[in-house]
Structure 1
Amino acid sequence: MKLLPHSNGVYKVNMRRKLKPKEIVKYVLIFITALILIGLIYQKTSDFVARETLKSKVDYTRVNDKRLDYILKGDGKYTVIFDGNLGGNLNQWTNITKELNKSNADVSTFVYNRRGYGYSDSGSKITPEEQAKDLKILLRKAGAPEPYILVGEEYGSLVLTNFAKLFPETIVGSVLINPIVEEEIKSEEYVKSNRIHKIRRKIEDIGSHIGFTSLLDAIKLDVKLEGFEDKLKESQLEEFNVQRTKANYTSAVDNELRSLMEGDSNSQNPGVFEGKPYYLIAKDGQEGLKNLGSEGLTKIHKTTCISNFISLEDEEATLIGIRDVIKEVNDIERKNKKISANNIGLKL
């Protein structure tokens, strides 16, 4: 306090020094750095706890030095390969494979997690064609016998049409569900309509390294997979909720989304399924992909299902399509055997 001249009053003097702009910036940067370090420590601890507490219920092998999860069931003469949506995991096919293994003894079923999903290792961005090559190696290492029947939904349809293009001699039939149309994703309209979604996924990818994505998840501001999360069993959802905030998952989703935005896939050539049974479950605008197959061996089911995960929302339609292709494949095999037997008889 200080006495005023010619007065008996007093007044307070502010002894705190005003901070200079440079000092303010310095303290803000220190605060932000501290937050990032705390976030990094939290994320590393969270990742470690998740690895130790979650028990993998899948088999795995290494492809190009990356762990890839898979489940192979049955000992049928055909292997049905499933590949699902962007952001989903192999649990997308749990109910479908269970029904097929129960009622179709002539097939084996194979589901797997692409890079970054489930317990599979993540990595740099690769194209659907490169993912198809990884899948071929995975099938060989897992001991999944040829020939194959392909079942792909949404993003998984791109991986499997690339597979069919690269390895046509290994497949005998195909089912595409809500397939992504390559011509459409290369349009400016598609890029514009998905720009905000891409930004949100990029934020989650960056944030997953410092605990920010876990915070978004806690306050329910993260990106939700409608039609997938609500269809999972409780144990599957618990596992997915732990994995979805980790860098492995967020980088995988961001990488695949960038592949779409950059139009990285060129596999939907007319006749890529030529001479083989092909069943298409299509929404509006996807019917044109009937030209991937032969006219007499192609069937189209026009769906009114709104969900992006049709295989979960409409299991009946999905099973009908798969069983139809299995039946056609068996019919073709029987006809070929009969023709071969007749030819042998004629020679004798």
Structure 2
Amino acid sequence: MNLLPHSNGVRRVNMKRQRTTKEKLKYIAKVLLGIIIAGFIVQQITNFIAGETLIERVDYITVDDKRMDFRLSGSGNYTVVFDGVLGGNLEVWNTIASELEENDNVATFLYNRRGYGFSASGSARTIEEQAQDLKILLRKSGALEPYILVGEEYGSLVLTSFAEQFPDSVAGIVSVNPLVEEDIKNSRNSLKNVALRIRRKIEQLGSYIGLTMLLDKLNLDVNINDLEDNLEGEALEEFSSHRTKASYTSAVSNELRNLSKYNLDIQQDGVFTGKPYCLITKNEDDRLKSLGDEGLTTSIVSNTDSCVLSLSKAIDILAGIRGVIKQCNDLKK
């Protein structure tokens, strides 16, 4: 008699159906969607908590229906207007502004460009439009003319555009470690700058779903070390909270895009004609001295490796501002 194989044993049969590639992809997509939704919820909760706990130490008004922060203090013959580095906020100028208000008979005006601090982001703004926003903000805030403009790095471009568009409102200019148009145009497609724009774009998109917050916790985000190393107390808490939000990351991406597509020609010889002008640089780069009149132009070389002179070299910036104030007063005599 022929017996069937395995007739007296137990045979284990795998009844589980193998998933097709399409089904696996659908499963992965569902998992990713769940992670994104969870990240979005966490981000919204974090934003809400920050909004409820952070103390607003600024005033604000609306420009084109968008909130813009400012801090106007002191009084005097001039209003010193500050505009800072890409990625920075108005807090970087606190030490310098306080010193001027106390000792130099001037008013000071600090503000946050769109997307920084508590300022709303809104649509992308060109450098010329940022200067126009500032003009409206100054007028609506009651900051009295004439203005002495103090711009650092990216902020120097905004204030140079301001001086070009509204020369009658400006008494003097201080450019701190300014970006040079020639360098912007020559380096915008460098591997370093392209990589930076990509990383910042990832942070912008990630700030909607909690990814940027996670990168920040892991120290994998793009940091401006001089800011976080030199800000303290409430100023540091506010900056750290805002820098992972969509408004901040969108503002940074917008300004990087302005540099990558830069086509302005505002750094013309004599653009500051008739106005006291001080150029403060880190490396004896005097290419922008020609923006002012020879007899009204001074320069200061600041010995530092810092990326943010407003925090690390206040003494040099104060010297430059006070020199311009003195020249402005002399011209009025």
1:122 corresponds in structure 2 to: 121
2:75 corresponds in structure 1 to: 75
Q: What is the RMSD computed on CA atoms of the aligned residues?
A: 1.6
> If the length of structure 1 is used for normalisation, what is the TM-score?
0.91
Q: Which contiguous aligned blocks of 4+ residues in structure 1 show a shift greater than 2 angstroms? A: 6-15, 188-193, 283-286
1:50 corresponds in structure 2 to: 50
**In 1, distance between residues paired with 2:250 and 2:265?**
23
Q: Is the CA contact 2:271–2:292 (under 8 Å) kept in the aligned structure 1?
A: yes
Q: CA deviation at 1:264?
A: 4.5
In structure 2, the CA distance between the partners of 1:180 and 1:188, relative to structure 1 (3 Å rule), is closer
| Equivalent residue letter for 2:275 | K
In structure 2, the CA distance between the partners of 1:189 and 1:141, relative to structure 1 (3 Å rule), is closer
| Equivalent residue letter for 1:101 | E
Q: SS at the partner of 1:186?
A: helix
Aligned-residue identity in percent: 54
Q: SS at the partner of 1:332?
A: helix
> Structure 1 unaligned runs (5+)?
335-348
1:229 corresponds in structure 2 to: 228
In structure 2, the CA distance between the partners of 1:89 and 1:5, relative to structure 1 (3 Å rule), is same
2:257 corresponds in structure 1 to: 258
What is the correspondence of 1:174-193 to structure 2 with a 5 Å cutoff?
Answer: 174-188=173-187, 191-193=190-192
In structure 2, the CA distance between the partners of 1:15 and 1:326, relative to structure 1 (3 Å rule), is same
Q: Is the CA contact 1:79–1:146 (under 8 Å) kept in the aligned structure 2?
A: yes
What is the correspondence of 1:40-189 to structure 2 with a 5 Å cutoff?
Answer: 40-105=40-105, 107-188=106-187
**In 1, distance between residues paired with 2:248 and 2:112?**
11
1:41-65 CA distance string (max 9 Å, x none): 1112221222122121100000011
**In 1, distance between residues paired with 2:8 and 2:312?**
84
Q: CA deviation at 1:77?
A: 1.4
Q: Is the CA contact 2:212–2:221 (under 8 Å) kept in the aligned structure 1?
A: yes
| Equivalent residue letter for 1:136 | K
1:186-229 CA distance string (max 9 Å, x none): 12565433111111100000000111111111111111111111
> Structure 2 unaligned runs (5+)?
none
2:30 corresponds in structure 1 to: 30
> If the length of structure 2 is used for normalisation, what is the TM-score?
0.95
Q: SS at the partner of 1:228?
A: helix
In structure 2, the CA distance between the partners of 1:173 and 1:6, relative to structure 1 (3 Å rule), is closer
Q: CA deviation at 1:303?
A: 2.5
| Equivalent residue letter for 2:32 | I
Q: SS at the partner of 2:226?
A: coil
**In 2, distance between residues paired with 1:47 and 1:197?**
25
